[in-house]
Structure 1
Amino acid sequence: MKMEVVDGTFLNTILLLFTTIIISKLILSFILPKSNKNLPPLVPAYPLFGGLHRFMKGPILMLNDVYPKLGSVFTLKLFHKNITFLIGPEVSSHFFKAQETDMSQQEVYQFNVPTFGPGVVFDVDYSIRQEQFRFFTEALRVNKLKSYVDQMVVEAHDYFSKWGASGEVDLKYELEHLIILTASRCLLGHEVRDKLFGDVSALFHDLDNGMLPISVLFPYLPIPAHRRRDNARKKLAEIFANIITSRKNTGKSEDDMLQCFIDSKYKDGRPTTETEVTGLLIAALFAGQHTSSITSTWTGAYLLSNKQYLSAVVDEQKKLIEKHGDRVDHDVLAEMDVLYRCIKEALRLHPPLIMLLRSSHSDFSVKTREGKEYDIPKGHIVATSPAFANRLGHIFKDPNRYDPDRFAVGREEDKVAGAFSYISFGGGRHGCLGEPFAYLQIKAIWTHLLRNFELELVSPFPEIDWNAMVVGVKGKVMVRYKRRELSVNQ
């Protein structure tokens, strides 16, 4: 009987709460003055919870349903938040070009702070973050990239030398492992690559698995995955502190991103701390590891499923061998226009980051290509989707078809509709700093494969893994290989 009374009281409290919310909204709708703003249309949703059920099924499914009905600008309510989507280059210019004071990343990406650590990226104000981005830029200058390419080529040679004369492999698995080895050598330093790779790789695995969908809303929730994440972050900090101290004590200077961060100084002359260096390295690895392994896998799946383009990239390699011999360096990779377009098209169809977010700190207006104008109030979360925008039919001809030639001179579909037509790497003020590094890494890997193996896709063409935080390839990508050395006479 006592339990029934408690349950009844609880139920009455819930009913009273819902009734109060509904009555309050009705009263406010009569009391508050009507806004003169032309707000975007709302995605149909339930009261209180808003469009949570639709959003959790997958943003792309929602966009496929909503875009044809509401157009390129619309707002989705999630609890007390308003997420306004801007789809397409005609309406997304402000998203990419606005000052940080008007359109900020910091609030929406706070869930990265436990992983990257204190004092870096989204845990600091914009002025400090800009200086830290300068450190990234300096670490990725052309002279640095040239030395990184040499290391990439060595890693690819060493890794694939372990393959036999013929066999079958899971290409996704192989490329994931090669990418982390390459990243360790170029970014984290030889101490990690040569001596601590197993330990550091396992710790990064725990960090990676600590980034869950629930982490976006509750990054400090005391769950096992978060505890493992925090423990791994602590151990990584200890490892890099020892490496940094050793380098400083011995006076050794290495050719890697770790050294660049150690040597970096803020405008006031202050050097980076061990904590900052560790956080920046983790951010760099997170930004590049998944995107490069996913894109290199999609590139391979499409090439091996489209003989026309496979023949084209092989012919390009033959011409480069005839011109440069066996030399593969930064300048040779830069000449690979056909392979570049094939990678770019795989990225268009499958950008690993399917949503980009900002927090609006000021009102702004947009005009659609149909001429409709909408006012976006400050306080809205503003979103765009590379995965959806990259397949808009009025920009890309037959948008769901793999067609690298759409980027060739004379067509250049990614430029026809103006800036921000192609946003796989973002754009504007917050474009991806690691884009050149990623292309060079993927080119180096596929150059080695194309020159040393005949490859055949034996499993079905892979599906998309929509359940991952960084959207990638679902399941295995089985490839049959046969070793052979490419020559200009073949």
Structure 2
Amino acid sequence: MSLSTLGVFESYRTFYGESPSLCILTTVLGFVVTALIWAQIEQALFDDPTQPPVVRYYVPFIGSMVEFGMDPIGFMRKHREQHGDFFTFLMFGRKMTVCLGSRGNDFLFNAKHSCVTAEDAYNNLTKPVFGADVVYDVPNSVLMEQKRIVKAGLSTKSFQRYVPMIIKETNDYIDKHWTKDEDTIDIFKAISELIIMSASRTLLGKEIRAQLYEGVADLYHTLDSSFTPIHFLFEWLPLPSYFSAPKAHAELESIFAKVIKARRLETNRESVDMLDVFLTSKYKDGTALTDLQATNMCIALLMAGQHTSAATTTWALLNLANQDNVRNGAYNDMKRAMGEDLPYPEFENLKDLQTLDDIVRETLRIHPPIVQVLRKVVKPIPIPESSHIIPAGNYLMASPVIAATDKAHFQDPETFKPSRWSQQDEAAEVEAEDKNSENTVNYGWGDMSLNSAKSPYLPFGAGRHRCIGEQFAYIQIKTILYVLLKRFDFKLDEKRGMPKSDYNSMVVLPEAPVSCRYIRRK
């Protein structure tokens, strides 16, 4: 160490001895100023005109993480006005290239798998929750086969069995928990419990459903706690959930192993749920799913839809409670379709409940449970009709809600107006045209429109990773809404009003507590 360096340390030690508080403050300020200066130097040195414009930041490495995390929708709208549909921002060392509008949606969802992948973006987040050898923990070709197997199990025959089960689960829950003629409750907590119970009964079978009261729901909740943005950003941190999730998974595997063993002993068993489908299905090469894969597919199937359906159903009820005319219109439409006595619907009746369908669609437009869809760029990819190239290593981020709440596509876009769908406004017509397009592709589970990604309304995504649980979600949510509206009227909590969105999880939820008042119908 040189004499000059020793002199600096000696001066610092003397300064600290004389005024430690001032010394610490000066040191911290020095670090802050240095960081601010370096951030500007870094952006100047690495500015590349061949890449999309970069959102300016003031803290190295952290970048725009805080601003984005507090209000991702506001952040994207703000910088879309400044930079257009494609721009990049820094978030904890990751370069996130945002792709917005119908053009951005189409770019991300229809990007070639050789250039961008979902597994490289999501596996660290989903593997602790879903388990090994399923979804993003397998090659894309295997994932496509797993989706084919799931879709085959979500058949019309299955849906016909599911509707009465969902009705019974909803009524049983109401009879047990909503015993007063009028009460104010945490509606999100109630709906979350109802969703997981009805989904477990229909998709996983009566054996798993019977154990929900014995701790299975708690195990699901433990896994769910690992599905947050912090786990995407800090996969290397020793967070408590990193230790609790494997333990919960092992317990679930043990429970499913007993059920699977019992089912394999049954001869000539009729397939009645998705676990049966997984135990009898095979990949194209003739290989059967292992018991572990069947277990993890069941866990993934439930976990992938539980939070999203709970959020959508809750937002739908909150909006109904907030608008008397919409709520009363839905109730009257139910009577028109089913009769004054409101008998419970069967699967075939659900298509006649047009207002409930419109309510779900409008809820998904304004309050989609997923506001950001990610991909990892593995090979440089050019942006069409642009001179910009996105380099390998960047992440792509699309947000279909930006187009779905854009006044260029929807009149009065921030207003909850379910009737817009029945009126077949411009956006609905665009969607219909996309669905009828002859420009299709088959990823292994049926023809899909390549043009669908250009639609401004994509609550279930598009392309090879489009959610295949869309029909089940509509059936489950509409059936639950029917039962609740048949038996109760709803009003917002006058003190709290309509809750704001909470962006602290991967699924956008209402800010807790989500208070809502139910009034039993006479």
1:410 corresponds to which residue? Answer: 424
Q: Are 2:347 and 1:341 aligned?
A: no
Q: Are 2:251 and 1:216 aligned?
A: no
2:186 corresponds to which residue? Answer: 170
CA contact (8 A) 1:146 1:329 kept: yes
Instruction: For 1:61-140, list aligned pairs within 5 A.
Output: 61-78=74-91, 80-110=93-123, 111-140=125-154
- Distance in 1, Cα, partners of 2:219 & 2:516: 29
Q: CA-atom RMSD, angstroms? A: 3.0
CA contact (8 A) 2:128 2:246 kept: yes
1:376 is displaced (CA, Å) by: 3.0
Deviations 1:56-100 (A, max 9, x none): 434223213212211211111345532211111023313112332
* DSSP 3-state at the match of 1:352: coil
* DSSP 3-state at the match of 1:149: helix
State the TM-score, normalized to the length of structure 2: 0.82
1:130 is displaced (CA, Å) by: 0.9
Q: Are 2:259 and 1:246 aligned?
A: no
1:438 corresponds to which residue? Answer: 473
Match of 1:427, as an amino acid? A
Q: Which moved more, 1:474-483 or 1:253-262?
A: 474-483
Change (3 A) 1:93 1:469: closer
2:320 corresponds to which of 279, 282, 303? 303
Change (3 A) 1:463 1:25: closer
CA contact (8 A) 1:415 1:421 kept: no
2:241 corresponds to which residue? Answer: 225
State the TM-score, normalized to the length of structure 1: 0.87
1:102 is displaced (CA, Å) by: 2.7
1:349 is displaced (CA, Å) by: 1.1
Match of 1:384, as an amino acid? A
CA contact (8 A) 2:105 2:399 kept: no
* DSSP 3-state at the match of 1:480: strand
CA contact (8 A) 1:395 1:414 kept: no
* DSSP 3-state at the match of 1:92: helix
Match of 1:57, as an amino acid? M
1:55 corresponds to which residue? Answer: 68
Q: Which moved more, 1:329-338 or 1:314-323?
A: 314-323
Q: Are 2:389 and 1:389 aligned?
A: no
Match of 1:92, as an amino acid? N
Equivalent pairs: percent with the same residue? 32
1:351 is displaced (CA, Å) by: 1.0
Instruction: For 1:139-178, list aligned pairs within 5 A.
Output: 139-162=153-176, 163-164=178-179, 166-168=181-183, 169-178=185-194
Q: Which moved more, 1:451-460 or 1:275-284?
A: 451-460
1:196 is displaced (CA, Å) by: 4.8
Change (3 A) 1:93 1:22: closer
Match of 2:256, as an amino acid? F
Match of 2:51, as an amino acid? L
Q: Are 2:485 and 1:450 aligned?
A: yes
Deviations 1:269-320 (A, max 9, x none): 1111111111111111111111111111111111121122112211111112
Q: Are 2:486 and 1:473 aligned?
A: no
- Distance in 1, Cα, partners of 2:159 & 2:404: 28
CA contact (8 A) 2:313 2:477 kept: yes
1:448 is displaced (CA, Å) by: 0.8
1:341 is displaced (CA, Å) by: 0.9
CA contact (8 A) 1:148 1:256 kept: no
Deviations 1:228-275 (A, max 9, x none): 111101111111111101110133445111111111111111111111
Match of 1:454, as an amino acid? D
CA contact (8 A) 1:396 1:414 kept: no
Change (3 A) 1:444 1:233: same
- Distance in 2, Cα, partners of 1:275 & 1:160: 35
* DSSP 3-state at the match of 2:305: helix
Change (3 A) 1:99 1:151: farther
Match of 2:509, as an amino acid? G
Runs of 5+ in structure 1 lacking a partner?
486-490
Instruction: For 1:266-305, list aligned pairs within 5 A.
Output: 266-305=283-322
CA contact (8 A) 2:359 2:418 kept: yes
* DSSP 3-state at the match of 1:90: helix
1:46 corresponds to which of 31, 34, 58? 58
1:372 is displaced (CA, Å) by: 6.1
* DSSP 3-state at the match of 1:89: helix
1:488 corresponds to which residue? Answer: none
Change (3 A) 1:235 1:360: same
Q: Which moved more, 1:194-203 or 1:411-420?
A: 411-420
* DSSP 3-state at the match of 1:265: coil
Q: Which moved more, 1:416-425 or 1:192-201?
A: 416-425
1:348 is displaced (CA, Å) by: 1.1
* DSSP 3-state at the match of 2:104: coil
- Distance in 1, Cα, partners of 2:129 & 2:322: 37
- Distance in 2, Cα, partners of 1:453 & 1:24: 61
CA contact (8 A) 1:164 1:483 kept: no
- Distance in 2, Cα, partners of 1:206 & 1:265: 31
Q: Are 2:204 and 1:188 aligned?
A: yes
- Distance in 2, Cα, partners of 1:27 & 1:183: 52
Match of 1:448, as an amino acid? V
CA contact (8 A) 2:363 2:416 kept: yes
- Distance in 2, Cα, partners of 1:314 & 1:25: 59
1:414 is displaced (CA, Å) by: 4.3
CA contact (8 A) 1:294 1:352 kept: yes
* DSSP 3-state at the match of 2:414: coil
